[in-house]
Chains A and B, each alone.
Chain A
Amino acid sequence: MSNKKIETQFEIIRTFVAILMAMTLALLIILLVSKQPVDALTSFLTGPFSSIRRFGNVIEMTIPFVFSGLAVCVMFQAKQFNMIGEGAFYVGGVAASFIAVKFLLPAGIHPFAAILFGGVVGGLVGLLPGFLKVKWNANELVSSLMLNYVCLYLGLYMMKSTIRDPNAGMIGSYVFPETAMLKKILAGTRIHSGLFIAILFIALTYLFMYRTKWGYALRMTGLNESFAKYSGINTKRVIIYSQVIGGLIAGIGGATEILGMYQRFQWSALPGYGFDGIIIAILARNNPIFVPIAAFFLAYLRVGADIMARMTDVPSEVISAIQAIIIVLIAAKRFLAKWQHKRIIKNSQEKLAVKEG
């Protein structure tokens, strides 16, 4: 076995150990706080699979998670710790709603145009922290976090001043016309055709990252910026386009979510999917291929916790603890590192022995 294989194996094991430990802790918490721990656990773990509708909930939630996870993957692979996913997701939703309400287009083209516009606006939002970083060396983490609020309030203002429905009884847009909405694809659930867009984007993002020259330049810049620069890669351009693409994917995610799951635009706060994208990207090791698995897992946890909260006396916040532990353990590079190192040494020695023997 090559040492590289050991590393891959080890990453998988590490992820599972982290999840296992987090789940164990959740179990302990449930045992401590609940008067009906068995019920709570059952609904938490098996609830999401207990009916088509509930399983549908998991898939519905997986869709936006995939987009925000992919967005973060692209930015993190370039070592750009840009949190704009949140804001881009939001303005993507606003922009798509605008097209949906303001224009009358045929059924196939209407959502396409709306989602595309959502992506473009998301990309523009992603451009800002990238540009600020390249031009004035402004830390993208800080500027993007701040910009998220700009996105929220600017988006809300734009929505209110253009497509708000005064008779809605809440802050929301006019109801989307039938032509703009994404069709449901499974009876008894709210799973919509955005699922296909999500799958398409997993493939596209993967291809972009590993099969195009732009993806290559992006990865090299992320792995070692000095090396990339020395090799002649225009790292400033990479820093900018990685964040534009991240914003674009998040924007498309927001657009897809709003057209697939809602009758009208009604987000009056940041929906939180952008930050969830960070959890997903960390679980997926920034690799687009693993994003659907990570997104599904997180959606499963969320839906499970939700069911548990509804059916029993355990609040759904328990999963925040689980998430936190998983992230800490996976992000901690030294976690289980000794064990891995020992295996690599043993492997190398065995190889040497074979060579000499």
Chain B
Amino acid sequence: MGNEILLMKNITKVYPNGIVANKDVNFSVNEGEIHALMGENGAGKSTLMKMLFGLETPEEGEIFINGKAIKIDSPTTAIKNGIGMVHQHFMLVPSLTIAENMVLGIEPRKNGFIDFKKAVAITEEISKKYNLIVDPEAKIEDLPVGMKQKVEILKALLRGAEILILDEPTAVLTPQETKELFEELVTLKEKGHTIIFISHKLKEIKEICDRITILRGGRSVGVHHVKDVTQEEISRLMVGRDVVLKIDKTPAKPKEIVLKVKEVNHIDVMGKNILNKISFFVREGEIVGIAGVEGNGQRELIELITGLDQYDEGSIVICDKEIRDLTIKQIRDLGISHISEDRMTYGVAEFASIEENIISDRFDNKDLNNKGLLKIRKIQSLVKQLIDDYKVKCDNGQQPVKMLSGGNIQKVVVAREFSSSPKIIIANQPTRGIDVGAIEFIYEKLIQLRDEGVGVLLISSDLNEVMELSDRLLVMYGGEVVASFEDSTKVTEEELGMYMLGIKKQVFEEKRRVENE
């Protein structure tokens, strides 16, 4: 193992909205190693890497390359210092060829024109050197994902990258492509390059990484040699709980099944299997939590249940009705409420008023309009009532939603979704990015509704949240329910962590139970 090639010392980053993304983080990488950077969503991995690549600037701290302090204020400076980054979402021009993409910004010229032959030659040369074989004249848009990633890596290498940052490179790859990528990474390592590998897939880290730095809540919680730590230890370090919001609730008294998902498959446009024969159910009067690292099919599952996307295989039944051919409106009329994880895209229209945002699911009802004419006074009194009930801090119902704080915007969403007398509530990351007061308020309301007999499906990557709120608990990993716990109080976070990261997997009882009922 070589010398320390990169050192990020006492890095602190505060975003303008006050969120502390990194606090006194120390991150050190040796020459010629594959170093894993691990942590949950929001742990600060991306922020740290953005600062290294010059996309963000730290408030405090220093960055050393080969022992020399440098200031990285833009990606250009980062590239000059031998740092290359392969983003999760590829930065390639689809309509251009590989060679053209490779030389973008550093085009070889001849008589003032771009020398395409030279570009192809350059591409072939570097491709051979690193044994990353690509066809320089192929168009990017025709390539599979794995190939695009190769191009991204080559692009960084062509620009002289000594340190390569790979941001969750395997998230978009098939297992075969992943295998190939790993072989390529090992080759790169042998050629003396240093690789920073961001991931939360433990197995992969075990497979190819030398050392690992784990971040949690914006702080570094340890650097280890991968071979010296067990998967269990890593998982414990990564998902350990910090803040505990204790919630008082009585045991659930579940009744009839309101939501039944049976053997649903979903394949995305890239042909990747996102959901794999997933089955579970939710009953009246219980909160079923789905824990899991984001990107394991939760979002797609919710889109299918709420009608935002269509499923081909399997069945989803809400209140005894198969929803395959129903419109979103019809599904909502069955009694489903949906808090979207993406508040500003789905939850609200930010330029519309609070009032307009609250009536969006019910303006069509008889009591709010008379043959198409809106009953303004009725709407106003309804909205005023809801603003009071849900403690939305605002001037009045006419105020545009974008002028409220995140927590209050979420309260507007919750006010709408909880007041439509739902039979089942789909709460997807209901408390993400909002203040503690609003969080507690939403928890209380959820439990209150549960006690009134509403079924709740809670999806959250916040372990604390799912463990405290849920009556039953499921864990999703790789598009499957890998674990199911009848009593969420009997699960330890260590255990949950191992399921979330795919180290362990239960034999499927839940599926069988659904089929029996």
Binding between chains A and B: yes
Interface residues of A (CB under 8 A from B): 2-4, 211-214, 216-217, 219-220, 223-224, 226-234
- The answer to whether B352 and A219 have CB atoms under 8 Å apart is yes
A219, B331: Cα distance in complex, Å: 23
A4, B403: Cα distance in complex, Å: 8
With both beta carbons as reference points, the residue of chain A lying nearest to B333 in the complex is identified as A232
Q: Give chain A residues whose Cβ lies under 8 Å from the Cβ of B347.
A: 227, 230
- The answer to whether A4 and B399 have CB atoms under 8 Å apart is yes
Q: 0/1 per residue, B332-366, Cβ < 8 Å to A?
A: 11000010100001111111100010011101100
Q: Given A226-B345, A226-B346, is A212 in contact with B360 using a C-beta cutoff of 8 Å?
A: no
With both beta carbons as reference points, the residue of chain A lying nearest to B350 in the complex is identified as A224
Q: Given A232-B361, A233-B360, A234-B329, is A227 in contact with B349 using a C-beta cutoff of 8 Å?
A: yes
Q: Give chain B residues whose Cβ lies under 8 Å from the Cβ of A214.
A: 372
- The answer to whether A213 and B346 have CB atoms under 8 Å apart is no
Given contacts A4-B399, A230-B306, 7 further A-B pairs with CB under 8 A are: A4-B395, A213-B373, A216-B359, A220-B349, A220-B360, A232-B327, A232-B364
Q: Give chain B residues whose Cβ lies under 8 Å from the Cβ of A217.
A: 363
Number of contact residues on B: which range applies? Answer: 20 to 34
Q: Say what secondary structure dominates the interface of chain A.
A: helix
Smallest beta-carbon distance A2→chain B, Å: 5
- The answer to whether B329 and A2 have CB atoms under 8 Å apart is no
Give the interface centre of A3, A219, A231 by most chain B CB atoms within 10 Å: A231
Q: Give chain A residues whose Cβ lies under 8 Å from the Cβ of B403.
A: 3-4
Q: 0/1 per residue, B398-436, Cβ < 8 Å to A?
A: 111001000000000000000000000000000000000
With both beta carbons as reference points, the residue of chain B lying nearest to A2 in the complex is identified as B395
Asked whether B186 is an interface residue with its Cβ less than 8 Å from the other chain, the reply is no
- The answer to whether A231 and B395 have CB atoms under 8 Å apart is no
Asked whether B114 is an interface residue with its Cβ less than 8 Å from the other chain, the reply is no
Smallest beta-carbon distance B423→chain A, Å: 16
Smallest beta-carbon distance A155→chain B, Å: 32
The 7 lowest CB-CB distance pairs between A and B, nearest first, are A232-B329, A231-B360, A224-B349, A223-B349, A230-B346, A232-B332, A227-B349
A228, B364: Cα distance in complex, Å: 13
A226, B346: Cα distance in complex, Å: 5
Q: Given A224-B348, A227-B348, is A233 in contact with B338 using a C-beta cutoff of 8 Å?
A: no
Q: Give chain A residues whose Cβ lies under 8 Å from the Cβ of B395.
A: 2, 4
With both beta carbons as reference points, the residue of chain B lying nearest to A235 in the complex is identified as B328
Q: Give chain A residues whose Cβ lies under 8 Å from the Cβ of B400.
A: 4
A230, B361: Cα distance in complex, Å: 9
Q: Residue B363 contacts which of A2, A3, A213 (CB distance < 8 angstroms)? A: A213
Asked whether B308 is an interface residue with its Cβ less than 8 Å from the other chain, the reply is yes
Q: Residue B360 contacts which of A3, A211, A227 (CB distance < 8 angstroms)? A: A227
Asked whether B369 is an interface residue with its Cβ less than 8 Å from the other chain, the reply is yes
A228, B363: Cα distance in complex, Å: 12
A226, B342: Cα distance in complex, Å: 10
- The answer to whether A229 and B328 have CB atoms under 8 Å apart is yes
A216, B329: Cα distance in complex, Å: 16
Q: Residue A212 contacts which of B306, B345, B374, B399 (CB distance < 8 angstroms)? A: B374
Asked whether B376 is an interface residue with its Cβ less than 8 Å from the other chain, the reply is yes
- The answer to whether A212 and B348 have CB atoms under 8 Å apart is no
Smallest beta-carbon distance A218→chain B, Å: 12
A193, B449: Cα distance in complex, Å: 60
- The answer to whether A230 and B356 have CB atoms under 8 Å apart is no
Q: 0/1 per residue, B374-412, Cβ < 8 Å to A?
A: 101000000000000000000100111001000000000
Q: 0/1 per residue, B294-320, Cβ < 8 Å to A?
A: 000000000000101000000000000
A99, B111: Cα distance in complex, Å: 67
Q: Give chain B residues whose Cβ lies under 8 Å from the Cβ of A212.
A: 369, 372-374
Q: Residue A231 contacts which of B361, B398, B399 (CB distance < 8 angstroms)? A: B361
Q: Give chain A residues whose Cβ lies under 8 Å from the Cβ of B306.
A: 230
Q: Give chain B residues whose Cβ lies under 8 Å from the Cβ of A2.
A: 395, 399
- The answer to whether A211 and B374 have CB atoms under 8 Å apart is yes
Give the interface centre of A219, A224, A227, A232 by most chain B CB atoms within 10 Å: A232
Smallest beta-carbon distance B335→chain A, Å: 13
- The answer to whether B373 and A230 have CB atoms under 8 Å apart is no
Q: Give chain A residues whose Cβ lies under 8 Å from the Cβ of B340.
A: 230
A228, B328: Cα distance in complex, Å: 10
Smallest beta-carbon distance B303→chain A, Å: 10
Smallest beta-carbon distance A17→chain B, Å: 22
- The answer to whether B361 and A213 have CB atoms under 8 Å apart is no
Q: Residue B308 contacts which of A211, A213, A229, A234 (CB distance < 8 angstroms)? A: A229
A227, B338: Cα distance in complex, Å: 12
Q: Give chain B residues whose Cβ lies under 8 Å from the Cβ of A216.
A: 356, 359, 363, 374
Q: Give chain A residues whose Cβ lies under 8 Å from the Cβ of B363.
A: 213, 216-217
Smallest beta-carbon distance A213→chain B, Å: 5
A214, B328: Cα distance in complex, Å: 17
Q: Give chain A residues whose Cβ lies under 8 Å from the Cβ of B374.
A: 211-213, 216
Give the interface centre of B333, B338, B359, B363 by most chain A CB atoms within 10 Å: B363
Q: List 8 A-B contacts (CB under 8 A).
A: A212-B374, A219-B356, A224-B345, A227-B360, A229-B308, A230-B306, A230-B328, A234-B329
